[in-house]
Amino acid sequence: LPVVSLRGVTKRYGNGTLAVRGLDLDIAAGGFVSLLGPSGCGKSTVLRMVAGLSPVTAGTIDWPRATHDARGTPRPKLGFVFQEPTLMPWQTAIDNVALPLRLEGVAKAERHRRARKMLALVGLSDFAESYPRELSGGMKMRVSIARALVTEPEMLLLDEPFAALDEITRFRLNNDLLRLWEARRFTAVFVTHSVFESVYLSERVIVMAAGPGRLHSDLSIEAPVQ
């Protein structure tokens, strides 16, 4: 069974903009999928609808493998990484990473243990007590990735996460992300307009046509670069 299944998904915003039109898509559990397409084709909209941050206008998004949680939403635990790191400026790196655990009610000692482990995985052990303003762009992005993964989500949704970074940092972060994915095997859905990035990272590249978003092509690649 796919982890998520979109059928005839259409999105029309309140101002009349048709952003996505009749999208059918299944995403397999544990895969690394890129959503590639020109700016404005509806990639972010698709990701936000999958995340439940934006309602669909028509069609359905199903999670065939998920069990119902207390609120009856059959959606597994998700992590979200945006282009802007959106870290809390008055909190240290480790407290930023631990924040989702605080929202889950995890006890303080356990929060810190898990946040410290995630910071180590993204290579920032020495910067646990640094504030976001003391970190480079690449380091802030690593903190965001650590924060998104600290709750051990089944799916990680990334919306143009590295677009604002210089090319070398971006390349390093691509490799770091692949390493994390190989270690943890969450389902990754990566939105990008970079052909290189999508092919380098993914097992499957879903190409969207210029808007309003529809499928253009769907490429399966044997394995990601190791």
Q: Which positions touch ligand ADP (CB under 6 A)?
A: 13, 15, 17, 19, 37, 39-45, 134-139, 169, 172, 211
Cβ proximity to ligand ADP: between 42 and 85 the closer is 42
Minimal distance, residue 205 CB to ligand ADP, in Å: 15
Strand order of the β-sheet with 58-62 is 18-27, 4-12, 58-62
Cβ proximity to ligand ADP: between 101 and 135 the closer is 135
Minimal distance, residue 208 CB to ligand ADP, in Å: 7
181, 225 contact by CB (below 8 A): no
Integer Cα distance of 77 and 150 in angstroms: 11
Minimal distance, residue 49 CB to ligand ADP, in Å: 9
Output the CA–CA distances (angstroms, integers) from residue 188 to 129, 157, 163, 164, 215, in the order listed: 29, 6, 17, 20, 19
Amino acid at 137: G
Strand order of the β-sheet with 32-36 is 78-81, 155-159, 187-192, 32-36, 204-208, 215-220
Minimal distance, residue 166 CB to ligand ADP, in Å: 7
Cβ proximity to ligand ADP: between 39 and 220 the closer is 39
Cβ proximity to ligand ADP: between 36 and 148 the closer is 36
221, 205 contact by CB (below 8 A): yes
Closest residue to ligand ADP in the complex (CB): 138
Cβ proximity to ligand ADP: between 172 and 179 the closer is 172
Minimal distance, residue 111 CB to ligand ADP, in Å: 24
